[in-house]
Amino acid sequence: MGKELVALDWPSLTEKEVRAVLRRCQPLDVAWKNSEIDVVWYSPRPMSAASLVRVGDSSVFVKRHHRAVRTPDQLGVEHAFANHLRRRGLTVPRVLRSLDGTTVVEDGEFVYEVHETASGIDLYRDVLSWAPFMSLGHARSAGRTLATFHEASRDFPLPSRPQGVLMSSTAIVAAREPLAALGRLLDARPRLARAVASRRLIDDFTRHHLVAIQRVAPFLTRLAPQWGHGDWHPSNLTWSSTTPQAAVVGVFDLSLANRTFAVHDLAIALERTAIDWLDLADQGRVDADLAAVDALLDGYCEVRPLDEVETAALTELLPVVHLEYALSEVEYFAAIVRSEANANLAYDGYFLGHARWFEGDAGSALLTHLRGRAECSKVRHEDGLRA
């Protein structure tokens, strides 16, 4: 939630717990059953309980969820998406099956998933969440890989996941009547409605989000929905080396994946890597890294060029791409882990704060830069047609 380590929302996994989960999984090899188990790393991310586990000569990644955050069915969709991407040639860690053939181990109020470890170097493992890329080379490679990801995910057939906590969606930003869509969200999520009951949510939404949504909605109606990663930033990628020229090797953590739009996923990638939000909280002002914006977009367009509609949608979507996930965080903190301070931070600093940044000089400069890129691309396209 900031630059300092904080107490975890959930207790860390224990060796006894991990051992019980792995006993219910189909073994990776014949020696696994009698191998020693050693938990070698605990995730410092406060909203998860996850560990790397050494089992004999193998390693696996074990993650625990409370059912209020992820149900077995929700995890099953993530795992089906991962399998689809693997079949399309992406390097995504394989999910281990339990002895009953599912990909989820259930135990009371908790559910567990076990993955093979990702190939490549986990270069950003100890970096703060949503931190910028270490180099422009990393940004360009991440852009290329995201485009490849979208090409691979384009024909994944499952419908959008229902809205829930810690979930991204486009139910509001793509709606013809955004205020009505917000009302439906509150009706469907009574815990969220209670969490914002003392807030001026409708007024805040109307003032800081509605106009941008109205601008982008006509573009989104002309785009085909498809599945995206939902949380594209460098610590969810593995890398070929520790150098500034390192390339992306693998992709993991599909917990926010959903059926949205490719350009929505691209906007998330920009929003979470080109603006150092933690510096904004500390200093009161931060400028977007326009060179990183260009590197990521140039890499993306090498593989999957954006058309005129997508280019326009990207710019108008960027100021509001965060809002549905931000509201899901408000619900998570207020209703599930009962942290009023973090719920306030999610509302004031995230739901409102990010939108307000785009209303200021620094945010306007980023949007102007993107519109300039779009105009240059349009001119080049027209010149090419004349030639």
Domain ranges of the chain: 15-116, 136-386
What is the predicted pLDDT for the residue at 37?
A: 87
Place of tokens 């691309």: 377
Among the four given CATH numbers 3.60.20.10, 3.90.1200.10, 2.30.40.10, 3.40.50.10310, the one describing domain 136-386: 3.90.1200.10
Query: Distances in Å between the alpha carbon of 323 and those of 83, 224, 245, 343?
Result: 29, 21, 33, 14
Alpha carbons 284 and 293: distance in angstroms, whole number: 21
What is the predicted pLDDT for the residue at 378?
A: 58
Sheet arrangement for strand 58-66: 37-42, 49-55, 58-66, 110-116, 105-107
Alpha carbons 140 and 72: distance in angstroms, whole number: 36
What's the CATH fold of domain 15-116? Phosphorylase Kinase; domain 1 (3.30.200)
What is the predicted pLDDT for the residue at 160?
A: 93
- What HEC string does 166-177 produce? CCCCCCCCCCCC
What is the predicted pLDDT for the residue at 294?
A: 97
Q: Tell me the sheet residues that pair with 251.
A: 237
Longest dimension (CA), the chain: 70
What is the predicted pLDDT for the residue at 387?
A: 46
Phi then psi for 40, rounded to 5 degrees? -100, -15
Token readout for 63 is: 């993650």
What is the predicted pLDDT for the residue at 35?
A: 82
What is the predicted pLDDT for the residue at 386?
A: 46
Place of tokens 């969810």: 236
**Whole-prediction pTM value?**
0.94
What is the predicted pLDDT for the residue at 365?
A: 97
Pairing of strands 105-107, 237-239: unpaired
Alpha carbons 327 and 346: distance in angstroms, whole number: 8
What is the predicted pLDDT for the residue at 385?
A: 46
What is the predicted pLDDT for the residue at 6?
A: 65
The stretches in the chain having pLDDT less than 50 are: 379, 383, 385-387
What is the predicted pLDDT for the residue at 126?
A: 85
